[in-house]
């Protein structure tokens, strides 16, 4: 007999017990939802990191006081304390590094950030929301952080040398402070310090919930004059001349850093090195742990849901003993009965799985959107989800289906 007939029979009998089928389905839906939701969010973030966003420009690496994740994520933990104990990287050290690297790498970006969340830019009576990125740097910032100049000019070496009070602003600042006029030559105030706008960055978008266009950049020297050297450690980004010389340049950079930091040979580095690769690797490690955790949890949930399916199918077989007897008496083979009940359990499982995938993709992308990552549909996880659900349907449905197929027709017909 055709599979379409069995399919119609199986789905017909599911429709009779809508509530029961629905509740059984829920278990699968929840299990699939959790894993697909997490996987969608993770792959949306991963995608936006690997494609949309490079933290640093090409062939760049960076030295900093703190590691990229701030010391293991635990703000109060011993790791955080260890990094805090380090000396800040000072302007003098940075400039010395720059001199040491002359001829090896010409593009050295030094930069420091004001991390106070009250930082706010204003022009006349208009002001930005607090919490913009305020940064002191040099002419290489745009290379190191992959910005481009849309209007006006970049910082120049002489701006840095003479600590001129000039600023390059991002698109978000532009829209806020200068909605209908040219910003060039205008005086803006950032926390009561005055700067002349000389340029505007092109649109860059967001990453990780941080608006990269809400930025004001001034010369590093001016920044340290205005906001003080205390608590302003300097990050040093270096661009290798080519991909080929990348590792060699990193080695030379580390040597230069050790010299400027005055480290003896037996002392460990008291600074962190990171590159695009190490940043991505750090994120990937976190993502893998999250993925593995959600995998285990939803595995357990799916196992429980599978037991639920088996339970409900056993009830169904018992309830429908008479029906099975009738079908056998008019010539249903073992395989027909087996297939009919297997399709029922697979249908419950798959329907639950599809619902779980849809909810999970919606939920995961919702989370990703909140973190300003782009929307993805994780085809691989969705496909895997469907395969696993079919497997659960077959695996946990087999025993009840086999029990149904093996019923003695005489006994089954006599059952009331």
Partner 1 sequence: MTRPTGALVIDIEQVTKLYQMGEETIHALRGVSLKIHRNEYLAIMGPSGSGKSTLMNMLGCLDTPTAGRYEFNGKNVASMEDDELADIRNREIGFVFQTFNLLPRSTALANVELPLIYAGLSPSIRRERATRTLQDVGLGERMSHKPNELSGGQRQRVAIARALVNNPSIILADEPTGNLDSKTGVEIMALFETLYEQGNTIIVVTHEEDIARHARRIVRLRDGLIESDGPVG
The residues binding partner 1 (CB under 8 A) are 1-2, 5, 12-13, 16, 322-323, 325-336, 409-410, 413
Least distance (Å) from partner 1 to the CB of residue 371?
50
Least distance (Å) from partner 1 to the CB of residue 330?
5
Residue placing its CB nearer to partner 1 in the complex, 1 or 187? 1
Residue placing its CB nearer to partner 1 in the complex, 133 or 340? 340
Q: 197 phi and psi, to 5 degrees?
A: -75, 125
CA angle 278, 282, 283 (to 5 degrees): 120
Least distance (Å) from partner 1 to the CB of residue 24?
19
Least distance (Å) from partner 1 to the CB of residue 350?
23
Cβ neighbors of 393 (< 8 A, separation 6 or more) are 309, 342, 345, 346, 347, 348, 349, 350
Residue placing its CB nearer to partner 1 in the complex, 159 or 344? 344
Return the structure tokens found at 196: 């002349």
Least distance (Å) from partner 1 to the CB of residue 396?
25
Residue placing its CB nearer to partner 1 in the complex, 5 or 248? 5
Residue placing its CB nearer to partner 1 in the complex, 203 or 323? 323
Least distance (Å) from partner 1 to the CB of residue 416?
9
Least distance (Å) from partner 1 to the CB of residue 393?
23
Residue placing its CB nearer to partner 1 in the complex, 166 or 401? 401
Alpha-helix residue ranges (DSSP H) falling in 48-186: 78-84, 91-100, 141-144, 157-161, 171-177
Alpha-helix residue ranges (DSSP H) falling in 125-239: 141-144, 157-161, 171-177, 220-227
Residue placing its CB nearer to partner 1 in the complex, 54 or 336? 336
Residue placing its CB nearer to partner 1 in the complex, 13 or 21? 13
Return the structure tokens found at 60: 């760049």
The distance in angstroms from the start CA to the end CA of the chain is 28
Least distance (Å) from partner 1 to the CB of residue 17?
11
Angle between helices 379-405 and 18-47 (to 10 degrees): 150
Query: How many CB atoms neighbour CB 266 within 10 A?
Result: 5
Which residue has tokens 């009919």?
340
Taking 3-state DSSP, the helix, strand and coil percentages for the chain, each rounded to the nearest 5, stand at 55, 15, 30
Distance CA 11, CA 77 (A): 57
């Amino acid at each position: 007999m055709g599979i379409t007939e069995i399919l119609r029979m199986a789905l017909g009998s599911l429709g009779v017990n809508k509530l029961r089928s629905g509740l059984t389905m829920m278990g699968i839906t929840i299990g699939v939802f959790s894993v697909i939701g997490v996987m969608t969010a993770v792959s949306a973030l991963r995608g936006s990191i690997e494609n949309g966003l490079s933290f640093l420009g090409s062939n760049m690496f960076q030295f900093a006081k703190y590691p990229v994740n701030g010391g293991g994520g635990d703000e109060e933990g011993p790791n955080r304390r260890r990094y805090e104990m380090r000396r800040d990287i000072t302007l003098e050290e940075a400039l010395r590094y720059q001199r040491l690297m002359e001829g090896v790498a010409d593009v050295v970006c030094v930069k420091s950030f004001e991390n106070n969340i009250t930082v706010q830019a204003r022009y006349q009576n208009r002001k930005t929301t607090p919490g913009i990125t305020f940064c002191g740097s040099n002419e290489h910032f745009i290379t190191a952080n992959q910005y481009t100049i849309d209007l006006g000019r970049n910082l120049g070496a002489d701006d840095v040398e003479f600590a001129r009070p000039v600023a390059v602003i991002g698109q978000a600042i532009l829209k806020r402070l200068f909605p209908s006029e040219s910003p060039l030559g205008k005086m803006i105030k950032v926390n009561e310090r005055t700067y002349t706008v000389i340029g505007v960055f092109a649109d860059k978008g967001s990453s990780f919930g941080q608006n990269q266009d809400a930025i004001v950049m001034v010369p590093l020297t001016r920044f340290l004059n205005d906001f003080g050297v205390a608590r302003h450690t300097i990050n040093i980004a270096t661009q290798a001349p080519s991909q080929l010389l990348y590792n060699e340049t990193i080695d030379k950079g580390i040597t230069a850093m050790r010299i400027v930091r005055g480290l003896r040979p037996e002392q460990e580095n008291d600074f962190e090195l990171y590159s695009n690769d190490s940043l991505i690797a750090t994120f990937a490690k976190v993502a893998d742990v999250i993925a593995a955790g959600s995998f285990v949890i939803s595995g357990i949930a799916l196992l429980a849901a599978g037991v639920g399916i088996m339970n409900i199918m056993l009830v169904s077989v018992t309830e429908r003993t008479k029906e099975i007897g009738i079908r056998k008496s008019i010539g249903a083979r073992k395989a027909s009965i087996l297939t009919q009940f297997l399709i029922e359990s697979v249908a419950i499982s798959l329907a639950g799985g599809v619902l779980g995938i849809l909810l999970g993709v919606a939920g995961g992308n919702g989370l990703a959107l909140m973190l300003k990552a782009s929307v993805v549909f994780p085809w691989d996880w969705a496909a895997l989800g469907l395969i696993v659900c079919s497997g659960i349907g077959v695996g946990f449905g087999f025993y009840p289906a086999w029990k149904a197929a093996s019923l003695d027709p005489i006994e089954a017909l006599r059952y009331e």
